[in-house]
Every structure is written in structure tokens, then in C-alpha cells.
Amino acid sequence: MSELIQLPAPEGRPDLLIIAGEHSGDQHAATLLRGLAQERPDLQVCALGGEALRSAGANVIFGLVDHSVVGFAEVLKNYGFFKQLFEAVVDWIREYRPRAVCFIDYPGFNLRLADRLVKEGIAAKAGGDIKLLYYISPQIWAWKGHRRFKMAQLLDSLAVIFPFEVDCYADTTLPVQFVGHPFVAADFNLGLSYAIDGPTLLLPGSRLTPVRRIFPVLIKAFLNFARNQPERRAVALYPSEAVRTLLEELLAAHPGAANKIELRPADAPTEASAVLTSSGTMSLKVALAGIPGCIVYRANLWTYLLARTLVKIPYLGIANILLDRPAYPEFLQGAAKPDILSRELTRLHATPAAATTATELRQLLGEDQSTAAPQWLAEALKEKK
């Protein structure tokens, strides 16, 4: 085991190890695990993840979500830590031999780990006894499309949550199945709804570094907007205690902001009349809830410039990508200015609920396939005959 990071031993050989490195992945993995428990309640499941997976019944051996970073510059700053963690995970898998590993998105870490397990000969594709499964594809349709060929060499099965992703792997040997998006499952509660007289919703994201860049812009934009409409209030959602603490610090730096902007946990039922949201998972949630809004994003300058050269899609928000139109206008980098966004808020509060957009998205995301993902995983976990 790594000398600096010690992962606890499981009770007996695990049936499944889940690896989810981000808040959204943790939530999706938890939904998947709850469905799997209905198919296979006997399974012993360990995880690197967060509170959602723990609540769903997994034995969380490391809180990976608490260490989530994004962007080239941020990864470099944390390289030493992730290298130590990576080796600790390899040691743990080598020693305790889970029957399968299910990677949840998070490709920078997960694909490197899959490659290492194949090279060590313990993965099924290398003649070993550990299946490598992947739920929620890396965004190869946006950049690094060549990774699909490596994935076909490493993985035993892939489940995707966007319908167009199946065709992205058509020229490989990798078994790929569209299993619907967890947000449109019949039993999934978005926790968000549209109300014409509701507060403005501010969603700065789940990763600390982007939140630090984005939330001050959202605060200033809302305060500018509220000068002419002093009765207006805002709600900012936080996915973790670490983000809540950061939001409090950022609010304190803006006089009067704490009296106008309420902080709520991300799972608190919330009505909103309009939204300013980062480009992450929550941007899709608000679109499915029919709340009009726009997307705001700021990254490290070098990360942004690098992304501009590599990313080959016209939109950042997934709702816009799916619909192939800017249903949620995008304000990125220099365009994400408080005065511009405050004017956008004025426009959005005069915009009716985006109900038609929400209906289109639900149909595209397979709202009739709520049990497909757990069934995919249960089938993949069956013993080889």
C-alpha cells in the first residue's frame, strides 16, 4: 500500500468497486447503485466517491469527490496527491480483487487506472478476473475522440447516457448501450421547479476552483439586477459543505449580499423564476425543470485557451448540445461580466417557463428507460460461464 494514503480493507472479496471523482458522478453512481440493489441485493459494493454513494449503501473507502479539481493548471498543482492516490488504488485492487470495477466518467483518472489494470494482467481484457465497466462516457464527442480506440482495448462494456454517444463508438469493438439519463427516470426528483414569482437561482458549480471564479460574478450580476427590483431575492445551491463554506466567504466579501442571497443544499426543493448557472450537470437539471436561464463560465486563462484549441463543439451546455441550438445563451470568460449578466437577468425574468424545451430534452434523454442502467450493470456482473 502507499505509505501516505491508506485505503481500508473490505470485508471479504468485493463484488464491485465504483470510482466516482465528481459530485455529479457520485449522484449518478448512487442512482445506479440503488437500482442495482433491487436486481442484486446480495452484492458487496465498495467505492471511491462521496456522500451520495455512501447513502446508497456503498462502503466508501475514500472520499474522492472532496478532492475534485478541473482544468490543466489545477491538475498540475495537485499532481503529487493524485499520483499517491492512484498507486494506493492500484495496490488496493491488486490485494482485494473486486470482481468488477465500474468507472463513472472522470476519465483523466479512470482511464489511466483501467490501462494500468490491463498492463498488470488483472483485468479481463488481459486474461485476468476483474471486469472493467464504464458508466457515463468521457465526452469524446467534444475532444480527444481518439480515446475510443484505447477504451475498446481496455473495457468490457460501456453504458452511455446521451443517445448520440452510441454512434461515437461505432467504429470500435467496444459493446456500448444507451441506458437513458438518470435525470429523466420516473423516480428521479429534480428538486427544481419554475415559479414566475420565485427567487433568482445562482448555480456556481460543484468544484472549488471554478466556484471561486464564477460565484463573485454571479453575486455582482444579481446585486446589479436587484438595484432596480429591490424586492427580488436569490438562492444559491451548494452540493457539499466545502462549497458552502466557500460561498459564505465569497458572500462576505460583498456588502449586503448575504441579506439578499440565501444558501441552500443542492437537494433542497427550490422554485426559481430564472437562473444563472455554470456549465455543469446542474445546467441540465434547470433545463429539464423548465427554468429560463443562461450559462456562465470562467476558467483559468491557460485552461481556456487550451480548451479552445481542442474542443470541437459549438456549445458548452449539454442542453444546447442536445438541442443543437442556444436555448440557454452562453457567457464565457470575458463575456461573463456582471453588467451583461444583470441585463440578461432582466430579460430572463420577462421570459415564460421553458416548458417546451424541457419536454424535448426528456424525449431525447430516454425517459422511458429508467431501469436500463441497473439492468446493464447487473448483466455485466454475471459470472462468466
What is the distance between the alpha carbons of residues 280 and 317, in angstroms, rounded to a whole number? 7
pLDDT in tens, 234-284: 999 998 888 999 999 999 999 999 999 999 999 899 999 999 999 878 899
By mean pLDDT, which of 137-141, 152-156, 237-241, 313-317 is the weakest?
313-317
Sheet (strand 45-48) strand order: 59-62, 45-48, 16-20, 100-104, 131-135, 157-160, 176-178
Q: What does the alpha-carbon distance between residue 13 and residue 98 come to, in Å, rounded to a whole number?
A: 6
178 has which bridge partners? 160
Q: Report how far apart the first and last C-alpha atoms of the chain are (Å, whole number).
A: 33
Contacts of 379 (CB under 8 A, 6+ apart): none
**Residue ranges of domains in the chain, CATH in brackets:** 16-180+369-380 (3.40.50.2000), 192-364 (3.40.50.2000)
Percent of the chain's residues with pLDDT above 70: 91
Q: What percent of the chain has pLDDT over 90?
A: 69
How many Cβ atoms from other residues are within 10 Å of residue 197's Cβ? 8
- State the pTM of this model: 0.81
Q: What is the mean pLDDT of residues 279-305?
A: 82
pLDDT of residue 385: 37
Backbone angles phi, psi at 255, to 5 degrees: -55, 130
Amino acid at position 72, single letter: F
> What distance in Å separates the CA atoms of residue 219 and residue 209, rounded to the nearest whole number?
16
Report the pLDDT averaged over residues 54-62.
96
pLDDT averaged over every residue in the chain: 89
Please give the C-alpha separations between residue 384 and each of 129, 130, 282, in angstroms, as whole numbers: 9, 11, 39
Whether residue 334 is predicted with pLDDT greater than 80 in this model: the reply is yes
CA distance 246 to 212: 7
pLDDT at 71: 44
Distance separating alpha carbons of residues 137 and 178, to the nearest angstrom: 10
Q: Record the cell numbers describing residue 100, joined without a space.
A: 468488477
Of 58, 60, 63, the closest CA to residue 34 belongs to: 58
Answer whether 224's CB lies under 8 Å from 251's CB: no
CA–CA dist 249, 215 (Å, integer): 11
Weakest mean pLDDT among 74-83, 87-96, 182-191, 209-218: 74-83
Please list the helix, strand and coil fractions of the chain in percent, rounded to the nearest 5, in that order.
Answer: 45, 15, 40
Segment 15-45, tens digit of pLDDT: 999 999 988 899 899 999 999 999 899 999 9
Which pLDDT tens digit goes with each residue over 87-139?
999 999 999 999 999 999 999 899 999 999 999 999 999 999 999 999 999 98
Count CB neighbours of 95 within 10 A. 11
Q: Of the candidates 198, 344, 192, which has an alpha carbon nearest to the alpha carbon of residue 270?
A: 192
